[in-house]
Amino acid sequence: MQLRLKKIIEKTRKVKYQRVLFTKKELDIREKTINLFLKLKKKKVKNKSCLSCDFYKKNLNNKNFINFYKKFNSNLLLKKKYNPKTYKKITNEEACFNGYLIFSKFLLNNKKINDLQKLNTLLKINDLLLIKFSITNHIHLIEEFKNLIIIEKKLIKKFL
């Protein structure tokens, strides 16, 4: 199930979600996978901090969030580390799972971005997190991920 969803998401990410129409079958696959994630239980695991998590915890704030928001929406991913003054990437490695969760918290709390833009970005983040999720490495973050999925569903209902 997750492998088929991964192929669908990777195909749409290649064209940056432009001119993409999902079939009913593809939406059902995504919904079933999301329901599997909602059933997972949090386990206590020693929380490891990485370069990406440390960078976003230290440098991401309400003043510079819009710059990171633009970076994410243009590239559909975040890098592990950016220069805090110029916002140019320092590493070519992609941010970790928790880095995207930190970014999404700022997204949801930002007043400058309207709900439709939040939904658009949240759908992209959740697609990315669905691909990146690993039970062995990210099970301690499942509750935060579940909250993002629930917020996504609320925003979708708001606009339908």
Q: What is the DSSP annotation of 122-136?
A: HHHHHHHHHHH--HH
pLDDT at 138: 86
Q: What average pLDDT does the segment 103-130 reach?
A: 95
User: Can you tell me which residue has the tokens 């140019």?
Assistant: 88
Q: Is the pTM of this model over 0.85?
A: yes
Taking 90 as the threshold, does the pLDDT of residue 50 lie above it?
A: no
pLDDT level of residue 42 (50, 70, 90 thresholds) = confident
Query: pLDDT value at position 137?
Result: 83
Which residues form the domain of 7?
2-159
Residue 127 CA to residue 60 CA, distance in Å, equals 22
- Give the chain's domain count: 1
Q: Which of 77, 58, 47, 61 is nearest to 141 (CA)?
A: 47
Query: What are the two backbone dihedrals, phi and then psi, of residue 82, each rounded to the nearest 5 degrees?
Result: -125, 160
Axis-axis angle for helices 24-39, 142-159 (nearest 10): 140
